[in-house]
Amino acid sequence: MTLSFSRALAVFVGVFTLLAEIARRRHQLLDPAALPLWIDDVLLAGFLLFGAWRVAADQQAGRPVLAAAWGFMCGLTYYSFFGQLQRLAEPDPSGLAPVWVVAVKGVGLALGIIGLVTALKGRVRA
């Protein structure tokens, strides 16, 4: 796989994460007490999109930024996935079944690992 794949995946995951979290917590976005519950996903999306932009501008200089963004995502998603897994009996703010939310977060964690590996090891196209 190439660094370009990691970049394209970062754009997809960044946009998807931003839209999904806004939809999931749309009723909490103006509640200051709920800010810590959703701002991490906005930061994650922004960091991935910034990393993708840096790779587009200069692959060698952008690679560490994109890898850091994927590492940030892996850390957040790991905690989010296993925290949600422990709370399967509780309702999700989105109204979706918690098992679906866990499944999406598990796929997100897997994509984060793939993105990180390809950012670190992916071939640079000439």
| 13-16 LR contacts (CB < 8 Å, sep 24+) | 13/45, 13/48, 13/73, 13/108, 13/111, 13/112, 13/115, 14/44, 14/45, 14/46, 14/47, 14/48, 14/49, 14/52, 15/45, 15/49
In this prediction, residue 126 carries a pLDDT of: 60
More confident residue, 84 or 69: 69
> pTM here?
0.89
14-23, 33-42, 46-55, range with the lowest pLDDT: 33-42
| Mean pLDDT across the chain | 92
